[in-house]
Each structure stands twice: as structure tokens, then as C-alpha cells.
Amino acid sequence: MATKTYAGINIEVNDEGYMLDSSQWSKEVATEIAKDEGVELTDKHFEVLDYIRNKVANGETLTIRGINKSGVVDAKTFYQLFPGAPLKKATKIAGVSKPESCI
């Protein structure tokens, strides 16, 4: 395990950079993680991040299909907001574990 400093807070992360304690997450922390991932966050990004955090808190599985059906964002926009590997990037920025569906 490693420690990264985001927004002045030392945060434990796993080998892939995902936060181990999601209670340390804040918008400021998310903004700094996003910079590392090459993403500049907007209000729409935070809507998606809040959706993801709520789903995970409720023990629900995350998929791109589920995000597409969320009413928050469609799949095309999701890929635009988090280019490359959208679910991986979005969950990392949201401070939650990488979904099992991501390799």
C-alpha cells in the first residue's frame, strides 16, 4: 500500500491508486485525483461522481450500462467526461473501489 497526499491530506491507496478509505474523499481531493488522471472536473463530473458514490454506498454494482440508464449522463457523455477508461477513472476520482467488471 502507498500513501498519496491530496488537498493536504495523506490518503492510503492501493497499488492501482484507488483510495482505501472513501470517508477521506472530498471535492478538493477529487479535483486533485482528477488532475492526476488528466481530467478537469465540472459540475457534470460531480453529478456523476455523486451518483457513483451513492450507488457504491448502497452496495450496488457499477456498470457503464447502469450509468447510461441513470438519468444523470448517457454513455457517450460519460466517455467524453472520463476519456480512456471511463468507469476506472470515474471510480478512482469518486474515491471508491475499482468495479469488479473493470480489468
Phi then psi for 4, rounded to 5 degrees?
-120, 150
Q: Distance between CA atoms of 9 and 5, rounded to whole angstroms?
A: 5
Report helix, strand or coil for 70: coil
* Cβ burial 48-62 (10 Å sphere, 16+ → b, else e): bbebbbebbeeeeeb
Q: Which three cell numbers stand for residue 96?
A: 471508491
Instruction: Report, as residue numbers or ranges, the catalytic residues.
Output: 102
- How are beta strands 9-13 and 2-6 bridged, if at all? antiparallel
